[in-house]
A = this chain, B = another copy of it.
Amino acid sequence: MSTTNSIGIVRAQRAQFDTPLTFRSGAVLPRYELVYETYGKLNADKSNAILICHALSGHHHLAGHYADEPKNIGWWDNMVGPGKPIDTDKFFVIGLNNLGGCHGSTGPSSIAPETGKPYGASFPMITVEDWVESQARLADRLGVKQFAAVIGGSLGGMQALQWSLAYPERVRHVLAIASAPRLTAQNIAFNDVARNAILTDPDFHGGDFYQHNVVPTRGLRLARMLGHITYLSDDAMADKFGRELRTGQLNYGYDVEFQIESYLRYQGDKFAGMFDANTYLLMTKALDYFDPAHDFGGDMNKAFARSKSDYLVISFTTDWRFSPQRSREIVQTLLHNRRNVSYAEITSTHGHDSFLMEHPHYFDVMRAYLDNVASEVSR
């Protein structure tokens, strides 16, 4: 069973990069660190490496647990491990925390060596393209010239797509799950409301809240509450919560009345207590900015003309944040460019969150595709 064989004890590693990184915005980061984890063994010809790119609130800790934190299980432990769809007996799997993140890689809450203070508002606006550059340097460091696959869900899927555009020779397979070629106006709108919740929180202090010893908890909490609505389907919410009352009766006040309110507020509070507000802002902007067609007059087909990878695209029927229609747009663009592309539209009630959940059909598709990828690499 894919749930049982956890990879066990893992540990995070760090890589320091001292060559300046120029961002798409023009900003330059003189040096930075990335925190990452690896699972499985790189084979002799270094052909079995898989990179996993994370979504908005993800990080490097994909699978297993730390020796001193047995309950801190990786966020994709159901997918990554020995005998699991992303099989660490066959692949050398890399997870990293993206630049700008708040789980150990250099980000807005890191101390800037130039000033001795947190970067805060001075951390550059980052794009999916910039992330792929920073990831390519990590691949160089690990000796990986070409990935067997780059895999990601949601914002992670955008990074996987971008890998095949920026480095067509360095990625044999792209797995883009619950993703989109670029955001719609509605997507951007949701992100902008979330951002405005943070930006207008009096405790945000223009992004330099660290020095004030406060955290824009209110804004971050609202952003996460809103996010959660869009990650779940209407039906899933109805099934899970319906109109169930927390105390079994109406209390006619602004405290929690319905269980759905309790759930949302709990999720918001939990997130606001551990996530960095500036990282949240950066991640949502990276989502907004990603548009491979932007430099090609809006023509997505032209943008993907340079791609050489094979692709697996997966969507979920009730995902309305990154709907199947958006995945089909990716597929159409790839077919137009005569790429090998497999597409699976998984029937699931769990909305956008489906990509994180263990679903037999979804996992079977992943396993079957990656078994083929594994057959191409030497052991």
Contact = CB atoms under 8 A, between A and B. Distances in A.
A133 interface: no
Contacts of A264: 189, 192-193
A281 interface: yes
A93 interface: no
Contacts of A196: 221-222, 225, 265, 268
Contacts of A189: 225, 228-229, 237, 260-261, 264
Contacts of A221: 196, 200
Interface of A: 24-27, 124-125, 182-186, 188-190, 192-193, 195-197, 199-202, 218, 221-222, 225-226, 228-229, 232, 234, 237-238, 240-243, 250, 252-254, 257-258, 260-261, 264-265, 268, 281, 285, 288-289, 291
A6 B221 CA distance: 46
A25 B252 contact: yes
B289 A188 contact: no
A1 to B, nearest CB: 32
B237 A184 contact: yes
A198 B250 CA distance: 21
Contacts of A25: 250, 252
A226 to B, nearest CB: 5
Q: Quickly give the copy total for this chain.
A: 2
Nearest to A121: B254
Nearest to A298: B243
A237 B188 CA distance: 10
Contacts of A226: 193, 226
Contacts of A240: 185
Nearest to A242: B185
B192 A260 contact: yes
Output the residue of A185, A240, A241 with the most chain B CB within 10 A. A185
B190 A229 contact: yes
B237 A186 contact: yes
28 contacts: A24-B252, A25-B252, A125-B253, A183-B243, A184-B238, A184-B243, A185-B234, A185-B258, A185-B260, A186-B237, A188-B258, A189-B261, A192-B260, A192-B265, A193-B222, A193-B225, A193-B229, A193-B264, A195-B254, A196-B222, A196-B265, A196-B268, A197-B222, A199-B254, A200-B221, A200-B222, A243-B291, A250-B289
Contacts of A186: 229, 232, 234, 237-238
Contact of A125 (B199, B202, B252, B289): B252
